[in-house]
Structure 1
Amino acid sequence: MKTIADIVLLGDPRLYEQCAPVLEAELPLVAGWVADLHAVMADIRATYHFGRGIAAPQIGVMKRLVYLHLDGQPLVLLNPELVDLSPATFELWDDCMSFPNLLVRVQRHQQVTVRYRDEHWQLQSWTVQDGISELLQHECDHLDGILCTMRAIDPHSFRWRPTPA
């Protein structure tokens, strides 16, 4: 089982790579990847007190897989694709498990629809807005090798997160 020590950190070249699609033949591997993603996210939450989603490349699995854990409910998104991005946007301070003490001011679409396959290989579609929209954009960016540092509004859009007590 992976732990917080396995998180791929800022500067690691894997974070800048585009991930390969999850293939239907790889479905038997998904449960293990998800268990690792869940374990690392639990460690991040316990250590840094944040974390609602994590992308597979953040633990070195270079596959198009996002794991969310919202309100106690896990959600697995295989090969997610963002469609129907709203023209309306908003700004926020984004955080990332790959650089947990850094916050980055970014602009995100207020609403998006994501198409994906679930862990049973069924096609799904989900329209979300605001905080969940931002989260999905952040995690899907990871699958394309894009970090929120690359989406900073300007050179002054960085700040340190206070160290948790």
Structure 2
Amino acid sequence: MAMAMKFGRAMVLVVIASVMMGASLAYPGWNNNNGYAWPPKQDNGPTEVPPTKVVVGGSENWHFGFDYSTWANKNGPFYVNDTLVFKYDPPSDSNTHPHSVYMFPSFWSYMRCDLRRATMVANVSDGAGDGFEFKLSQKWKFYFFACGESGGFHCSTGKMRFSLVSLPRPWKWHG
């Protein structure tokens, strides 16, 4: 009986040693001073992913005939505090088809390209140079954008419209 108790105690010590060895392998700095500390140093937790600036249309910018709905689907998701940059040429002798940026109040006015209740957010000159910047300021908001020029023709026929939902910013976990 005494021999069995000694064997049992020895097995417990072997198990404890195995667990400690496993822990040291899982956390390489556990039992040395390689810049690690035990318990592991706690960081400040997750941080919000920083906002980004997105040029609408990418290298195509904002122009007649480009499919912005497809572009938005490929380049989403979009998050609160991201900035959309609309770049387009101002009116000139060589550019007789200027562009603007309107925001529709509803899905139905967007689908019909009905500009009567839409709000102009950038006029025909605002897209020059570095472009016009629009910040997505509300989470879970549906945004409906279009070019309002030529009485809605650029919106309905020229594919110069897209919609998006601004989502809450994601978090990045440190570890």
**Alignment TM-score, normalising by the size of structure 1:** 0.27
Give the structure with the higher percent strand: 1
Higher helix proportion = 1
Structure ID, larger Rg: 2
